[in-house]
Chain A
Amino acid sequence: MKTDITTKKHRTKVKLGIFFWLCTFWIVAVILVAVLAPFLPLDSPNKTFECQPFLAPNTSHIFGCDDLGRDMFSRVIYGSRVSMFVGIVSILIGMLIGGTLGMISGFLGKKLDTFLNTAANIIISFPTLIFLLAVVAVFKHSLIVITLSIAFISIPLLFRVIRSATIAVSNKDFIQAAIVLGSSKFRILFVEILPNILSLGIIYGCLGIGSAIIAEGTLAFLGLSVSLPTPSWGNMIAEGAQSYLRRDFLITLWPSIFIIVTVVCFNFISQRLEHQFNSSDNKV
């Protein structure tokens, strides 16, 4: 096709678009601010009566203040620490376990593959929220428990994606060639297959982080994530929406904006990268 030739010629110049870079900027900024929050010149997120309760946004408190006179801006920033930690760490763990199992299972095939795939399908058919609710009911709802249980849920999903990608790559000529040449299985998996499925891993990783942030937000909204007064986007939305929607909807609005923009950014980056990798795959 005509368009293919032109894109091939300017392959390095294919643009991801301005929105992609805006989203990346937002994510990087939120991560940086979340990590550096204690070193930034912010008011303490939990110090009450820092300012007038329900104070409207002004120059010294740009997001205004909540019902207890806590600075909303610093609460939103500190809230991002919980969301980003749970989102990124849980998906990293899920990717490490699910991805590795997926590669091994997809490459080796046979009984192991049938077993793992059936197991993954069964775990996936469990409703995620029910699982999370059961876990927080038995264990304490701490950051670690929530991160690990979201990681557990993500394992079979990431496993499935990586497994099918591995199967597709395994059938290609260069892998068959490597097998014939007598490369070790370890080498084939990590030197030949891994670089080829890494892009897919990043795409689904971004998508997964978005879903993990929503999962944590849902738990926090239900009052089952980190305990108060530690701010998290979910429990801030709950606090504002349950009691102060009439009085001051900004308390609900700020964390809502942050969670939506962050999740949409992760989803958009994932979608854009998928488009990008797919179009470059077709050219090869």
Chain B
Amino acid sequence: MKFIIKKLSILIVTVFIASIFGFIFEHLIPGNPAVAILGPQATPHNVAVLTTKLGLNKSPVQQYFTWIKNFFTGHFGYAYSSGDSVKTLIAQSYTETLELIVGSQVLAFLIAIPISVRAAVKPNKIFDKFTSVISFGFYSFPAFVVAPILILIFAVKLGIVPASGYVGPSQSIGQNIKDMALPCITLALGSFAVYSQILRSELVNLLKEDFALFAKSKGISKYKIVFKHCFRLSSLSLVTISGLQISTLITGAFVIEYIFQLPGLGTLIINAINSKDYLVIQAVSVLVVMAVATINTLVDISYAFLDPRIRREN
């Protein structure tokens, strides 16, 4: 219980700091926020009206509370370049980011599990060494290097999938899968490297435990021991790791969206930076920080529930 309270209080502090940063960010923007919202052709009268409406003439503390209230009720303001509500823009793009992240994780597990099981059953043999070199490599390769190589091979040379573009799953599922294939693979490679290394070392250690040796002495094959006995134990830590990876995944997804021109949150924020659309940048970044902090806390707490050792350590 003490552990949960500690984690929750850290979460609250993080969200609070993120909100302060978001608030300060709005005030760091060169020029008057009212002018930024209304655009350069705004009349002085309109600016004055909006200044009062936004409460810019009130004290900073009052302004902060107004900002918080607006932010948590979903009033993120309007995009300067297009005039759309920031809320609508985010609602349109987050599903695509989510699809990319979920797809890549499914893919990463599908590749990492069989490979690490095979490597762990025969540790330090050729297959193990080969896969560990490969995953070390993938771990070092940034997305913006991997993606052009994949595009060159699969889109330009082989022409199996398109190099960029996006069709929503509601329009055409087949085309959607084709469009998402390369982005998902690119994002999956980094996660694959992490998962396969962790799962491999965990399985190697578990196979040395008494219960595994006992099962082995009864003549059960190593693969059967892994899948029947070890897997439940190590899947726990795998889930935790994937939860803690969320920050890396979101930022990775942002870069990949930009490369493949997918209409997700990443493209939204990067375009916003280029067009100096500060309210979009502010809303997306504060929301992402809050989401990451919340997910991390939930993972920590659920892990403590499942593994009593963690609770005692703290």
Contact = CB atoms under 8 A, between A and B. Distances in A.
A267 to B, nearest CB: 5
Given A241-B151, A256-B149, A126 B140 contact: no
B285 A259 contact: no
Contacts of B281: 133-134, 137
Chain A binding surface SS class: helix
B144 A217 contact: yes
A130 B285 contact: yes
Most buried by B among A130, A256, A263: A130
Interface stretch (A56-64, A85-93, A196-204, A244-252): A244-252
A121 B145 contact: no
B273 A125 contact: no
Interface stretch (B12-20, B42-50, B112-120, B203-211): B12-20
State which size class the interface on A falls in: 35 or more
A282 B60 CA distance: 57
A127 interface: yes
Given A122-B14, A133-B269, A256 B148 contact: yes
Contacts of A222: 255, 258, 270
B83 interface: no
State which size class the interface on B falls in: 35 or more
B140 A129 contact: no
B148 A246 contact: no
A246 B288 contact: no
B76 interface: no
Interface stretch (A165-173, A178-186, A232-240): A232-240
A272 B304 CA distance: 34
A136 B141 CA distance: 24
A138 B25 CA distance: 8
Contact of A127 (B136, B258, B292): B292
B253 to A, nearest CB: 10
B289 A241 contact: no
A118 B13 CA distance: 10
B82 to A, nearest CB: 17
A260 B273 contact: no
B270 A133 contact: yes
A118 B255 contact: no
Given A128-B251, A260-B140, A134 B285 contact: yes
A237 B141 CA distance: 13
Contacts of B247: 125-128
B144 A127 contact: no
B13 A122 contact: yes
Given A134-B25, A137-B273, A241-B259, A267 B251 contact: no
Chain B binding surface SS class: helix
A245 B247 CA distance: 30
A218 interface: yes
A155 B214 CA distance: 47
A125 B143 CA distance: 21
A138 B140 contact: no
Contact of B145 (A118, A136, A249, A260): A260
B251 A130 contact: yes
A264 interface: yes
Contacts of A217: 142, 144
Contacts of A79: none
A218 B255 contact: yes
Contacts of A127: 247-248, 250-251, 288-289, 292
Contacts of B13: 118, 122
Contacts of A125: 14, 247, 292-293, 296
B243 to A, nearest CB: 12
Interface of A: 118, 121-122, 125-130, 133-134, 136-138, 210, 214, 217-218, 221-224, 234, 237-238, 240-241, 245-246, 249, 252, 256, 259-260, 263-264, 267
